[in-house]
Chains A and B, each alone.
Chain A
Amino acid sequence: MRAAALLRLALAGTRTDTARVLLTGLSAALAALAALAALTVLAIPEPVGDPYAQAEQYGNALLREPGLRGGTAFALLLLVIPVLALAAQCARLGAPARDRRLAALRLAGATPGQVTRLAMLETGVASLLGTLGGLGLYLGARVLIGRPDDRGRLALPTDVLPSPGALAAVVLGLPLVAALATALMLRRVTTSPLGVTRRAARDRGPGPWAGVVIASGLVAFVAGGRVLRSYDGSSEATVWLLGVLYVGGGLAAMVGVVLGAGWISHTTGRLLHRYARRPAPLLAAGRLMADPWAGSRTFAALLAAVTFGAGAAVLRAYFVLQDQLAREQNRLSGVDAGDNPFYLATMDLVDLAIAVAVAIAAAGLLVAVVEGIVARRRAYAALVATGVPRATIARSIAWQSTLPAVPAILAALAVGTFLGRALFGDVSRGVTSTEICDASADLCADPVTRQQYTRMVSGPEVSRTADVPLEHLALLGAGALAAVLLTVAVGLLFLQASTAVEELRTT
């Protein structure tokens, strides 16, 4: 096939296809921005000689201290995850119609390769435009916010650029990955020209084995805590074991929460189905039971963010307690000061990242809600024609989106809290001893006279467990639920257009 013909066919689509292309581009741009930010942090040069030398030109300790930059870059890369979830959600927008169109091309004689190239071209070009836009935005923002503050420090590392090779890898690599993912998702369409046929048997619904995955993650975390306590600081293998237990356990718990959303969807659907008296919850129950994984898919990024956020809330409580203990000990010594404020300042940044992740996840949710409405417009139009009020349909969509969200968010909060407390449970501060000078400043300043007036004050060893930050967790859960409700409300705006009687026309 000629390139022009390929392009013409790739562009032949409906408004939904246009929306999908735009959203694919947008999420590619977001992913590129996050990746570029991470790369920029990594590109900060380390001064030759002293490996602990700080990059004094920055206002933020996260950027100044070389030991923290790796973690900062990693956190930025983690932000790519909800963006990718958003991209996956966008790729599903109007996908059934697109699959039918591609299947029709197969029926018309196109080879599987041609059809796959067509779809890859669409995703690839859209993503490339997105990453190029992201690069443009990044370069523009560098110039705009690259001014030093009054202390001559930069807020962000706008003075360095990642290597051209790294830039090219982001701008070209992300579209390539997206195109390959598209090819993978299209396997079913390209193997059969008849496309996707109707499902033969009813699924029994997911079993509660996601609970096993979560439990194994939690156990790994607790085991990690044990290993850490008995660690004598010499064995290299133990460090590895710790890494495996914590990273693997954390991932397992998060994946378990996401998978568990499928079980939660199905179970809420079943319960709702049993007790529903009105049409709206009945419709919602039917959908929840018919496709429980839809909930898992749509809530994945949100639940991951909430789990992470709950862990972060526990960590903040830990730091707050540490600060408080330090303050108490210092007060004994007559000094009014807390712990190093760096940690709490960093937590603000982490919370900001979580808020951004929740916002991105909400965008993915919005796309999922809209796609659910648009894909079923014929059925909805038929219901409206038979006299079902639009409000009933709207209520059913609201039920279906929010009902499983509540237990799923609670589960994510619980798992995140547990993980956090397994890692940062008790705050303990060892015996402190401070030299105090009980005299006027003049006397104390003189080393000779100072000797006479000093005494040693020692604080006892303290060990306390931080309270569960209920308020913070409630705020996080409420925020996530609010995001769900908001997306449903916005998504319902599409219902009116999707139930127009024109959808019913057979001729």
Chain B
Amino acid sequence: MTLQARGVVRSYGPTPALRGVTVEIGEGEIVAVTGPSGCGKSTLLHCLAGILRPDAGEVTWQGHRIDTWSEAARSRLRRTEFGVLFQFGQLVAELTAAENVALPLLLAGTGRREARTAALTWLERLGVAEVADVRPGEMSGGQQQRCATARALVTEPRVLFADEPTGALDTLAGEQVLTTLVRLARQQNTSVVLVTHEPRIAAYADREVVLRDGMVDHTGLGLDTPLAGGHR
């Protein structure tokens, strides 16, 4: 019941981004992926989430190799079992918060009324029920990110991929988003892959994987070092 990357290699043209990375994310586990800029954090997240196909190595989800799946199959996986959250700019500018959150449900064939009800519930949980009928351009960055979190969680995914989810927010707003995200993820037993370069954000995780130059950095807190203090 886990997500695994084994020996994943991925390059952008001649530039190697990942040079053989092996990680495993357990059920309900919150794992931070950290490291300096350009170490391959985001690329690893994209490979794990089935957004990118690795050049070599394999990615398995619950025992199935997903890196060999078609784009359509991986798309379906991403909108049912996975949730994805980026730094900014992921909400559809022309749709209201509630419509944005309802989008994944509508894609899954849920009725519009039902989808809206679920969206409102999730906006409520994220503490942004008041912006349900507001468009992203009229919200603060923190509100936008909460809406994006609601959209990522509305399908009750098994794994949530968050790429610098607080990167565009100030400390307090970022902390509020992350606290809620972690709390809700734990309630649902959703695993979280949290890409961040900030130690204080990584501290929300149960475990930290440090990347350096496209590899797991063993002088950092490597794969085999679960830290004390995770409150599970």
Contacts and interface: CB of A to CB of B under 8 A. Distances in A.
A386 B79 contact: yes
Contact of B135 (A276, A277, A290, A387): A290
Interface stretch (A42-50, A80-88, A194-202, A355-363): A194-202
B87 interface: yes
Nearest to B71: A390
14 contacts: A200-B138, A279-B106, A282-B103, A383-B90, A385-B90, A386-B104, A387-B77, A387-B84, A387-B107, A388-B75, A501-B46, A506-B86, A506-B87, A506-B167
Interface stretch (B61-69, B91-99, B171-179): B91-99
Interface of A: 198-202, 276-279, 282-283, 286-287, 289-291, 378-379, 382-389, 392, 501-502, 504-507
A411 B160 CA distance: 49
B163 A387 contact: no
B42 A379 contact: no
A289 B78 CA distance: 29
Interface centre among A279, A282, A283, A383 (most CB of B within 10 A): A279
B42 A505 contact: yes
B135 A202 contact: yes
Interface string B76-116: 11111011101101101111000100011011000110000
B51 interface: yes
Given A379-B93, A504-B42, 18 more contacts: A199-B137, A201-B138, A202-B135, A277-B106, A279-B103, A283-B92, A283-B94, A290-B94, A291-B94, A382-B86, A384-B75, A388-B103, A501-B46, A504-B46, A504-B51, A504-B86, A506-B163, A507-B38
A378 B46 CA distance: 15
B49 A385 contact: yes
Nearest to A287: B94
Contacts, number: 95
A286 B42 contact: no
B89 A382 contact: yes
Contacts of A198: 137
Interface in B45-61: 46, 49, 51-52
A276 B103 CA distance: 12
A156 B135 CA distance: 57
A87 to B, nearest CB: 27
A278 B106 contact: yes
A282 B99 contact: yes
B208 interface: no
Contacts of A383: 90, 92
Nearest to A284: B94
A507 B78 CA distance: 22
B112 A387 contact: no
Contact of A507 (B37, B51, B86, B92): B37
B107 A279 contact: yes
A276 B164 CA distance: 34
Contact of B92 (A199, A286, A387): A286
B72 interface: yes
